[in-house]
Amino acid sequence: MRTWFEPEEAEEFEATKDLLIRRCVTWAKEHGHPADDLLLSAAVDARHESRDGRLAYWDRTRIRFFLLRYVPYKVTASREELDLAPEVLRTYLRYLDVTGLRDPRGATLAEAEEIIAGAQAEYASALDDPTLRGLATFWAHTALDQGFDLTVPGAFERFKRELDAGRVPYDQQVLDKIMQNRLVYGGIDEERAFPQPPVSLPPASELAEAAGRSRTVQRLITLADWVGKDGRALTDAGNLRVADALEVSALLGTGEDQLRIRSATDLPQLNLLLAWARKLRLTRTSKGRLLRVAKAVPLLRDPETLWGRAFEVLPELGRVVTVPVATWRPEPILAEIFDEILPDVLNSMYGLDEMPVVRLEETVWLACQEYVVLDEEEHRLDLLRREVARDLGRMFEILSDLGAVELTHGPADPLYASDLDHDDQPLPPDAVERLRAALSESDLPLVRLTPLGVRGVRDRLLAEGRDAPLVGELATAPPAELLGVLAQHYPPEDAVAELQGWLARPGQDVEMLVRAVRDCPFRTRVGAMLRVLAGALPERRLLQDLRHDPILGPAVWTQLIDAGKMRPGSLSERENLLLGAENFLSVLELAGPEGLVEQLRRMGGGDADEFLEAILASGHPDVVGLRELHELVAEPLRRTARHPLRLVPTRPPGARGRRKKRKR
């Protein structure tokens, strides 16, 4: 079973959601926990509709968002039912935990339960505030309050007629507030972000040392020390005096102290550092003086934290990073959208080696044209493009001084020219031609993120609610949760590195991983976990060793047959039935009962009832799956079939192509 789907994989997601809810409700009844289909569905939807889409990832932010924003905004039900949401969420998270579906990078079960308990009072207040509802939820609640059961066919149409006729009372002030919130803040929907590749980082001590060596960090500390507790006098215009500006420039080593200037504003590097220090609250102005902020002293003594904060606020400094040169356009284009462009550029570099700067210049210029309407003559557009390229270069120099990127020269990797002839190439023809010429050169400016830069970008991605795997972060994860994450979110080579790191920990071995696969209650997830193990441990011949495992045998045979390493004819009659059951149970999970029923109806030959009975009596270890196969597939087929369904297996059970493959 997968717990992550692309937004367009609607059918696959719905089948998995139905399976999750069905199994969770059954488990909850068996263990005496509260469950509710509507609220469970909302919990699954909330995570699927999120920026990262991980159904089994829950942390403090996601738990509180679901209870305090998502349910009030989107869920329509009686107050009695809505009051159950915290306990139903607790049940769902317990189910994810006991089945090994939980994403170990989120909160532990104990942490999650504590977060839910802490949010319950706020949750009640959120339900009491009708202005937190979405527009659709407002009208749905209005209909519910007036006695309209919108689940009954035709009820919505009757409600709308009554509303249009003015016979439905509603709170206009609440509606106005909801519309105002929608206009000012938008809704709560999030745009799905691209998944990021796993990255590796050096030890924390090395990163701390690198932050201390950062030229920008050292300059910010020097600047704050120079300002001192007594401060420095400013001109009437609020700038440093020229003599002071040249003095501190010499201390900072910017090279600007030898310039002949009329004003301190003529020193762009000093202006940037002054603006950076103000943004970081290292300095402030008061009564005509530049002062050091007393509360900033602890930050100045912690270079690593100072580096992180400096990296975090840099997108807000576009107007001092860029420098206007054109008198007919005093505001550089990049300054207007710097807070959008800088994160996008860093994201595009994340997880990659050296990138040719010219490639980034073209994509940034394309983005500038999308963000800003440019109605200029052709020669002026070319000047603007060159201005953007210049400011992008200055941005990289600033990032280099900070220690976030490394600038080098050399030939570009052929990868960056390989897509120039693709039909879906987003760049215009003139940009493609410029790139083709530039990328053929042997000495190009190249840029890559340093480890500090990688960590900084990753921290921001995580703060935005995105998935940004880090090799080594699963070293102590429970075996089932480890394999589940590797199967869905890690490329094979990174999965090998993560698994080897896990096995290197004392007390963690392959048998623990195999046991976790045996305990998994979902056949498709068993297959995915086995593939990860077999791919990461080829020397173990794991699948061959597990051919006769009483629990894993059918899943192992499926993979061996699909890989051409086993002949279906080598199986006994009973083993063929077990293999058929494995495939049927996998389809049941992937396509749902209706999908399996429809697939059976399209087949002909062989009595389907008899075949299903044989499958159900096969002794397959998935007892829960067999029970669902009986109740949700076999029984409906018997009740609705007007003619005997006959089944002719066109391929041997388990042969390649029978099962729906999981998108990787």
Q: What's the CATH class of domain 204-316?
A: mainly alpha
**What does the alpha-carbon distance between residue 556 and residue 284 come to, in Å, rounded to a whole number?**
67
Query: Which residues make up the CATH 1.10.10 domain(s) of the chain?
Result: 204-316
pLDDT at 652: 34
Q: The tokens of 244 are what?
A: 């002071």
pLDDT at 436: 92
Q: Are 426 and 419 in contact (CB under 8 A)?
A: no
- 646 has which bridge partners? 607
pLDDT at 651: 37
pLDDT at 641: 58
DSSP reduced 3-state for 646: strand
Amino acid type, 23: R
Q: Are 285 and 231 in contact (CB under 8 A)?
A: no
The model's confidence at residue 384, banded by pLDDT at 50, 70 and 90, is confident
Q: The tokens of 455 are what?
A: 């960590």
- 178 has which bridge partners? none
For the chain, give the percent of residues with pLDDT over 70: 94
CA distances from 637 to 257, 592, 618 (A): 86, 14, 19
Is 35's pLDDT higher than 90? Answer: yes
pLDDT at 177: 94
**What does the alpha-carbon distance between residue 345 and residue 453 come to, in Å, rounded to a whole number?**
12
- Out of 26-30, 554-558, 612-616, least confident range: 612-616
In this structure, the number of other CB atoms found within 10 A of the CB of residue 507 comes to: 5
**What does the alpha-carbon distance between residue 381 and residue 460 come to, in Å, rounded to a whole number?**
33
Is 589's pLDDT higher than 70? Answer: yes
Q: Are 298 and 280 in contact (CB under 8 A)?
A: no
pLDDT at 376: 64
pLDDT at 540: 81
Q: Are 625 and 588 in contact (CB under 8 A)?
A: yes
The model's confidence at residue 635, banded by pLDDT at 50, 70 and 90, is confident
**What does the alpha-carbon distance between residue 467 and residue 51 come to, in Å, rounded to a whole number?**
9
Give pLDDT tens digits for 261-315. 999 999 999 999 999 999 999 999 999 999 999 999 999 999 999 999 999 999 9
Give pLDDT tens digits for 567-583. 988 999 999 999 999 99
Phi-psi region of 416 (alpha: psi -120 to 50; beta: other; left: phi over 0): alpha
- Selection from 563, 556, 528 nearest residue 542 by Cα: 556
Please give the biggest Cα pair distance in the chain: 98
**What's the whole-number mean pLDDT along residues 150-168?**
90
pLDDT at 613: 87
**What does the alpha-carbon distance between residue 136 and residue 187 come to, in Å, rounded to a whole number?**
11
pLDDT at 602: 74
| CB-neighbour burial class of residue 573 (10 A; exposed 0-12, middle 13-18, buried 19+) | exposed
The number of residues making up the chain comes to: 664
**What's the whole-number mean pLDDT along residues 627-632?**
95
The model's confidence at residue 419, banded by pLDDT at 50, 70 and 90, is confident
Q: What is the mean pLDDT of the chain?
A: 91
Instruction: Report the run of H or E that residue 143 belongs to, with start and end.
Output: helix 135-145
In this structure, the number of other CB atoms found within 10 A of the CB of residue 326 comes to: 12
pLDDT at 424: 78
Give pLDDT tens digits for 188-243. 999 999 889 999 999 999 999 999 999 999 999 999 999 998 999 999 999 999 99
CA distances from 598 to 17, 590, 605, 641 (A): 19, 13, 15, 12
In this structure, the number of other CB atoms found within 10 A of the CB of residue 551 comes to: 18
Give pLDDT tens digits for 37-47. 999 999 999 99
- 448 has which bridge partners? 406
CA torsion angle 107 110 112 113 (round to 10): 180
**What's the whole-number mean pLDDT along residues 67-96?**
97
Is 607's pLDDT higher than 70? Answer: no
Residues with Cβ within 8 Å of 151's Cβ and at least 6 positions away in sequence, in order, are none
- Out of 162-166, 250-254, 392-396, 585-589, least confident range: 162-166
- Pure H helices in 293-404: 297-300, 303-313, 318-321, 333-336, 338-349, 357-371, 378-402
Give pLDDT tens digits for 101-155. 999 999 999 999 999 999 999 999 999 999 999 999 999 999 998 999 888 989 8
In this structure, the number of other CB atoms found within 10 A of the CB of residue 434 comes to: 17
Phi-psi region of 295 (alpha: psi -120 to 50; beta: other; left: phi over 0): alpha
The model's confidence at residue 49, banded by pLDDT at 50, 70 and 90, is very high
pLDDT at 299: 97
**What does the alpha-carbon distance between residue 320 and residue 388 come to, in Å, rounded to a whole number?**
14
Is 647's pLDDT higher than 50? Answer: no
Q: The tokens of 404 are what?
A: 């976030």
CA distances from 656 to 25, 297, 493, 583, 663 (A): 34, 66, 24, 11, 16
Residues with Cβ within 8 Å of 147's Cβ and at least 6 positions away in sequence, in order, are none
The model's confidence at residue 604, banded by pLDDT at 50, 70 and 90, is low
Is 656's pLDDT higher than 80? Answer: no
Report the relative pairing of strands 444-449 and 405-410 from DSSP bridges: antiparallel
